[in-house]
Amino acid sequence: MDGYSVRDEPDLVRRKIGYMPDFFGVYEDMKTWEYMDFFARCYDVPADRRAKMTDELLDLVDLGEKKYAYVESLSRGMKQRLCLARTLVHDPALLVLDEPASGLDPRARVEMRELLRELRTMGKTIILSSHILAELADVCTHIGIIERGRLLATGSVEDMIAHLSVRKRVGMRVSARAHSAHRLLSGMPGVMDVAFQGEAPDTDDAPARLVFGLTEDVPDESAVLTQLVGAGVPVRAFAEEAGDLEDVFLQITKGEVQ
């Protein structure tokens, strides 16, 4: 790890790593600057550097105005950013973040995502775990998929999506005959993972939206549309959708639990 042996020099390795757990402890009766100062002392940051470092890190996570606020008065998103600032007190080369956006509202998630991008531009290597796969694509350069403790696949985000066996995904809307369309699509060669988006309609006369994948065996999705229309399915919309990390995850994993 950064030139140090994990086995022979564990203490030096730990000083190169900043870890932010999913559920982290905060000392509610401390002010934010005291909280930062406490952890800086734990990492033996010299006294003449602690005050300046605290101000710089609080500004980095946009908590400069909360320097004298008590931790208990901060929102969930602010506490999350404070914990990240605490993780940086010893200037680690590697950040290990466990679900950094969990429990955050949409605005706070956007702020956390922008902060992670800023840390990346600062030269930090970031390893994060998350179940919010759509957001990983916006932040990460490489991903790894783990199931039951085994690394099943790894690579750049672009390469992982490009190697999906589902070459493309199509979304469609029908004004009626949704169940008939589902059966018809399920029987077509090269069409896979046919599903209703949302709840399936109670009757075949109700409108619905369906999604399905196409493999390399289907060179042109217009052939699928032609068959649907020819079978009398009233198609209102039919368009290709971009593949994403959720497609990769569902295709590679089997749903096994430890």
Report yes or no on 152 lying in a domain: no
Q: How many domains does the chain have?
A: 2
Q: Which of 140, 160, 188 is at the close of a domain?
A: 140
- What would the pLDDT profile of 163-214 be if each residue is shown by its tens digit? 655 567 889 999 999 999 999 999 998 888 898 988 888 888 889 999 888 8
Specify burial of residue 38 (Cβ count, 10 A radius: 0-12, 13-18, 19+): middle
Q: Do residues 99 and 182 both lie within one domain?
A: no
Q: Which two tokens stand for residue 208?
A: 């619905």
Report yes or no on 48 lying in a domain: yes
Report yes or no on 256 lying in a domain: no
CATH number at residue 212: 3.30.70
Per-residue pLDDT at 256 exceeds 80: no
Residue 179 half-sphere exposure toward CB, CA atoms < 13 A: 8
Please state, as a whole number, how many other Cβ atoms lie within 10 Å of the Cβ of residue 83.
19
Q: Do residues 105 and 194 both lie within one domain?
A: no
Q: Which of 100, 125, 140 is at the close of a domain?
A: 140
Per-residue pLDDT at 134 exceeds 80: no
- What would the pLDDT profile of 57-113 be if each residue is shown by its tens digit? 999 999 999 999 999 999 888 998 999 999 999 999 999 999 888 777 888 888 888
Q: Do residues 116 and 49 both lie within one domain?
A: yes
Q: Do residues 136 and 173 both lie within one domain?
A: no
- What would the pLDDT profile of 63-76 be if each residue is shown by its tens digit? 999 999 999 999 88
Report yes or no on 136 lying in a domain: yes
Report yes or no on 221 lying in a domain: yes
Q: Do residues 123 and 58 both lie within one domain?
A: yes
Q: Which of 121, 140, 159 is at the close of a domain?
A: 140
Do the Cβ atoms of 196 and 208 come closer than 8 Å? Answer: yes
Provide the domain limits for residue 184.
168-242
Report yes or no on 197 lying in a domain: yes
Q: Do residues 35 and 76 both lie within one domain?
A: yes
Report yes or no on 32 lying in a domain: yes
